[in-house]
Amino acid sequence: MSLAADFHVHSNYSDGRPLPFMLAAAEEAGLDEVGFADHCNVSPAFEARLTKKEFGFNLDVTYERRRDAIEAFRERLGLTIHDAVEMDYDPDDEAAIAEFLDEANFDYAIGSVHHLDGTSIFDREHFAAKTEPECRDLVDRYYENVVALVDSGLFDVLGHVDGIERTPELRGYTTDDHRAMVADALVERDTRPEINGGRVLRDYGELHPEPSFLAALDERGVEFVPGTDSHRPDDLTDAVPALAEGFDDAGLEAVSPLA
């Protein structure tokens, strides 16, 4: 099948390429809909505020500017363009996240657990120094936070469910119990997980969630939102066919976070 929509694309309003380039790639990929879900963090923690300054992830103060740009493109292009966000989630930040999402009123919100043990889940050097029992404990905490994200009811989409699998030092610690607890939480809530194509064509080589996790969710009737997690035009044009193939191989229909 072909993929009609990609609901997880980044732009220069976080760590992606400029909106016009990403939109041109969406048209080239044959999409009818594209959703810009730039990174955003509203945590008051020092580390989070420092990261925002260093990397320029300031969608919490620039979302209206991006919204104006999206509206201008809507008037010129045949694409349906969605004004969305990918929020960093930590249980301690729920009140701040809720306040911001209520204020910003995005078309939809993706929630992702990007940090663990005070650092990015993709920081290989940090986790390489951990023992096996420490890694197991960290992975337990990761999935506890994923379940808390779903239970919060703040998000339309759960981003890259098993994102820690991208990090070799944390790979392989995900258990059937982890898969079951996430699946059970999703069954009880309106939040839908995405099938994320962000690393399918790179070193990791898998969609998220990986096949056994995907099967555990599908067995419970969970529906999936498609997202390439693209940051560059080539990411989008290359990942859209791979993501479509992933849905097709699993016998799944892509759903919209707006449905």
The three-state secondary structure class of 104 is helix
- Could you report how far apart the first and last alpha carbons of the chain are, in Å? 20
Is this prediction's pTM over 0.85?
yes
How far apart (Å, rounded) are the C-alpha atoms in residues 258 and 35? 11
Give the pLDDT score at 1.
62
Closest by Cα among 63, 109, 65 to 87? 109
Closest by Cα among 110, 80, 107, 83 to 4? 80
Give the pLDDT score at 204.
77
Tell me which residues of the chain have a pLDDT lower than 50: none
Give the pLDDT score at 182.
98
| Residue 208 one-letter amino acid | H
How far apart (Å, rounded) are the C-alpha atoms in residues 189 and 87? 18
pLDDT in tens, 85-130: 999 999 999 999 999 999 999 999 999 999 999 899 999 999 999 9
Nearby residues of 90 by Cβ (< 8 Å), 6 or more positions away:
43, 45, 113, 115, 145
Chain centroid to Cα 177, Å, comes to 22
Chain centroid to Cα 146, Å, comes to 12
How far apart (Å, rounded) are the C-alpha atoms in residues 219 and 52? 39
Q: Which residue spans within the chain are E strands per DSSP?
A: 5-9, 33-40, 80-88, 108-112, 115-116, 119-120, 157-158, 192-196, 225-227
